[in-house]
Structure 1
Amino acid sequence: MNRIIHYSTLTILSILILSNIQQLYGQKIKGKGSDTMLPLMEELVKIYKTGTTKSVDIIGGGSSLGFRGLTNYDIEFALSSRKVEETEKLKIETKYDQLLENIIAYDALSIITHPSNKVTKLTIAQLKKVFKGEVTNWKQLGGEDVQIVVISRDKNSGSYGFMESIILNDEAMTKTCIVSRSNAGVVQRVGLERGAIGYCGIAYVEEIVKPLAICDRNNEYIYPSFKNALQKIYPLSRPLYLYYRKSDKLKVDYLINFALSDKGQQIIAHKGYIPVF
């Protein structure tokens, strides 16, 4: 009798363990964050989910919103086109849990203007003056007598954070800038405004805008092409991250491993982003 009860107990425990494992690996996971990374992640998830029972939901909105989602336990992983800030990390981590980071691709932040603009290249110093509002006419940069219209992402965007840190050295962007909530919105507005200048991820660059060559430390002007970004010689190249809690590692690992696999990296390149290797 005791042996029967013992076997029954083991059977029940086995069923419970199996059920928990199936729930762990089969449940839905959610991601949120970088608008720059959204097309890349949507394509990865689309292929990743094919032939599996796994469910992954992803939305954009900006890198900051991804970190906020992790803080509030609304999502399992965050998409970010910038490195997490220390203040964000402190809000997410606990005594028993830590924030993990993976670089899954690279991007070339492209400075774009209207195609009719005669200016083809700028230095970092010139970019800073433009986005601070100190230079207000293209004539000051060797172009036509046309007022400069700055198009920027909103402050939730990792691209905005990158521009603020790398180009503006943490100084304020001009108050006259027009704010767009997406890369696509920036591209559309720049393509319609003759004097406009903006910035977007390399995968968003279309024929309706013209990317500018940017001067590097060797005083060479480098165009934001796929090849130059792949060789890491474009001055405004940047890593693209996935962030998640250590406690969610088992849930997220399969997706990250797929993104870093040969197939995943091929998908990343096909979408116009720069593979890790």
Structure 2
Amino acid sequence: MLFSGKKKLLALLGTMVLGTMLLAGCGADKAASGSGDKAASALEGKVTASGSTALLPMLKPAQEAFEKAHDKVTVNIAGGGSFTGMNQVAEGAIDIGDSDVDLPDQYKDKGLVDHKVAVAPFVLITNTENKVANLTIQQASDIFTGKITNWKDVGGDDQPITIIHRAKSSGSRAIITATILKGQEFTDNASIQDSNGAVLKGVATTPGAIGYVDAAYADKSVKTFSLDGVAYSAQAVIDGKYPIFGYEHMYTKGEPKDAVKAFIDYVMGDEFQNSQVEKLGFIPISKMKK
């Protein structure tokens, strides 16, 4: 009977110890969760970014989602051109310089850190009334350098070609220079606009016009050219069949911290990359073939 009583006592003590451990564990979990929520809610500050207008269609939705999740953080994103963004972040005027181009040599001693966030495809566009649907790379190059000035020379109507494109500070222009012009210079006989949206509007409303925009901007107001018989698609870029694209960068002066780091991490994170990037007209870097 004594032995039986000891067994009951030990069992009771064991149950009490186990219960105490479980309660402690629950408290620890709750504390950990609470500290995580506290850390998330404690994130605050202002993030400033400017540069590539090609990247705006992706960063604006990211900004809205990030601010919704962190109501004490304000993210301000502006255009201005890729080289403008790199200049401003190098000078410390902004937190993030958005750019369509790799870091040029003149910036490599400025302490800038590169964060590749997506691939941006670009398309050549024309007025919807233009009968020409395909250009060779050589024809496109000859148009932009001023060697071809009439659509009849590439199978179209007898109509002057009007070039509408970007300023030298534009990363979009740099990409077209590298992929289509192969380093040649654009003709000066062109209308210069300060954003992808302005180029799109100009081409849409100007008979005989040609320009280039980030594929995310192209809509039914313009006609998109095939190049060497290949129509633009994300898969054509991934397969190496369509040549006009660039890696999108978010440059910071030194390693980012606090709200700036959190915003860049959000843009580069699997959730945003896998669910939003392609929907917004870009290509996740992970899908590009090495």
TM-score of the two chains, using structure 1 as the length reference: 0.83
Equivalent residue, structure 2, for 1:43: 61
Instruction: Provide the residue aligned with 1:190 in structure 2.
Output: 203
Structure 1 residue runs of 4 or more that deviate by more than 6 Å after TM superposition: none
Q: How much does 1:180 deviate? A: 0.9
Deviation at 1:245, TM superposition (A): 2.0
Residue in structure 1 matched with residue 147 of structure 2 by the alignment: 134
Provide the residue aligned with 2:30 in structure 1: none
Shift of 1:86: 0.8
Aligned residue for 1:55, secondary structure, equals strand
2:267 equivalent to 1:259? yes
Letter in 2 for 1:108: P
C-alpha deviation, 1:40, in angstroms: 1.0
Give the Cα separation in 1 of the matches to 2:65 and 2:51.
20
* Residue pairs, 1:57-68, within 5 angstroms: 57-68=76-87
Structure number with bigger Rg: 2
Q: 1:269 aligns with which of 266, 273, 278?
A: 278
Instruction: Find the aligned partners of 2:196 and 2:267 in 1 and give their Cα distance.
Output: 22
Counterpart for residue 250 of structure 2: 242
Structure 2 length normalisation: TM-score?
0.79
Residue 241 of structure 1: CA displacement?
0.9
The corresponding residue for 2:27 is none
Rounded Cα–Cα distance in structure 1 between residues aligned with 2:154 and 2:130: 11
For 1:25 and 1:74, locate their aligned partners in 2 and report how far apart those are by CA, in whole Å: 22
Structure 1 residue 225 corresponds to structure 2 residue 233: yes
Question: What secondary structure is seen at the aligned counterpart in 2 of 1:60?
Answer: strand
Amino acid at match of 2:281: G
Alignment-mate amino acid for residue 38 of structure 1: L
List gaps (5 residues or longer) in structure 2: 1-38
> How many pairs does the alignment contain?
245
Partner of 1:33: 51
**Paired letter, 1:166:** T
- One-letter identity of the residue aligned with 1:145: D
Contact 1:65–1:156 (CA under 8 A) maintained in structure 2: yes
1:143 and 2:153 matched:
no
Residue correspondence of structure 1 range 79-228 to structure 2 within 5 A:
79-90=98-109, 93=110, 98-215=111-228, 221-228=229-236
Q: Does the C-alpha gap of structure 1 residues 225 and 211 become closer, same or farther in structure 2, counting only changes over 3 Å?
A: same
Per-residue deviation, 1:213: 0.9
The 8 Å contact of residues 107 and 229 in structure 1, kept in 2 or not, is answered as no
SS at match of 1:268: coil
SS at match of 2:252: strand
Instruction: State the 1:247 CA deviation.
Output: 4.2
The Cα offsets for residues 168-205 of structure 1, whole Å up to 9 and x where unpaired, read as 23322111111111111111111112211100000000
Residue 231 of structure 1 deviates from its aligned partner by: 4.3
Q: Is the 8 A contact 1:230 1:275 kept in 2?
A: no
Whole-angstrom CA distance in 1 between matches of 2:112 and 2:172: 21
**Shift of the alpha carbon at 1:54?**
2.2
Encode CA deviations 1:234-260: one digit per residue, 9 max, x unaligned. Answer: 211221111112243455321222112
Aligned-partner Cα distance in 1 for 2:174–2:252? 20
Deviation, structure 1 residue 62:
0.6
Q: Deviations over 1:67-95 (max 9, x none)?
A: 111122111111111112111333xx2xx
1:44: how far off?
A: 0.4
Q: CA deviation at 1:226?
A: 3.4
Conserved 8 A contact 1:191-1:209: yes
**Which sits farther off after the overlay, 50-59 or 109-118?**
50-59
